């Protein structure tokens, strides 16, 4: 990875709502009438964070490392995949300097769950909770998120050489 001491990565993911599925965001189960559809637990926030870290490491994306064609990942908790990605970052000589992420969803409201997500993610990333910032926003009823069809998430990370 050369002599680069600071690396930046961005991630984005989308999953559509599905009936009779749990809603998992940032490794936290959110009480809601619908969950998200996906090969794993469809944790859109954690997937965006994984892609941001992999991007910062110049190691492709979540689909390259954990393909949805592999039955080993069927129903897996995405937080487990995030832990595997952090092991890769450590192997490459990097740790998280900071993470900033945004969940885009009309409903449910997430404000009361954000600190729990930050705690779960910071523990998985092996960084202080003050280095992790999770936000939620609506789209004022516009687009697929605004119509309640699904959830999107964005993430940006900086990695520093250990």
The ranges assigned to domains in the chain are: 6-161
**Which three-class secondary structure state does DSSP give residue 85?**
helix
> For residue 60, what pLDDT band results from cuts at 50, 70 and 90?
very high
Whether 17 contacts 36, CB under 8 Å: yes
Tell me what percent of the residues of the chain surpass a pLDDT of 90: 98
- Arithmetic mean of pLDDT over the chain: 96
Mean pLDDT along residues 91-99? 97
Q: Where are the beta strands (DSSP E) in the chain?
A: 6-19, 23-25, 28-30, 34-36, 94-104, 132-137, 150-161
Domain 6-161 in this protein, CATH class: alpha beta
CA distance 114 to 135: 7
Whole-number pLDDT of residue 2:
59
pLDDT tens per residue, range 110-156: 999 999 999 999 999 999 999 999 999 999 999 999 999 999 999 99
Residue 11 contacts residue 51 (beta carbons within 8 Å): yes
| Mean pLDDT (whole number) for 21-42 | 97
Q: What residue has token string 């490794």?
A: 27
Q: Which stretch of 3-12, 24-33, 40-49, 105-114 has the lowest confidence by average pLDDT?
A: 3-12
pTM, rounded to two decimals: 0.97
Contacts of 84 (CB under 8 A, 6+ apart): 65, 66
Query: Which band of pLDDT confidence, cut at 50, 70 and 90, is reported for residue 41?
Result: very high
**Nearest Cα to 42, choosing from 66, 63, 60, 16?**
16
């Amino acid at each position: 990875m050369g002599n680069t001491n600071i690396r930046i990565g961005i991630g984005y993911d989308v999953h559509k709502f599905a009936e009779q599925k749990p809603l998992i965001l940032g490794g936290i189960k959110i009480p809601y009438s619908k969950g998200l559809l996906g090969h794993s637990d469809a944790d859109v926030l954690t997937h965006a964070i994984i892609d941001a870290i992999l991007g910062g490491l110049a190691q492709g994306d979540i689909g390259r490392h954990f393909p949805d064609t592999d039955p080993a990942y069927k129903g897996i908790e995405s937080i487990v995949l995030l832990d595997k990605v952090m092991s890769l970052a450590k192997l490459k000589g990097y740790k998280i300097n900071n993470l900033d992420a945004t969940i885009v969803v009309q409903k449910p409201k997430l404000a009361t769950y954000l600190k729990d997500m930050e705690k779960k993610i910071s523990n998985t990333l092996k960084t202080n909770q003050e280095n992790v910032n999770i936000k939620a926003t609506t789209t004022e009823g516009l687009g697929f998120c605004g119509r309640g069809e699904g959830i999107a998430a964005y993430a940006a990370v900086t990695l520093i050489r250990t």
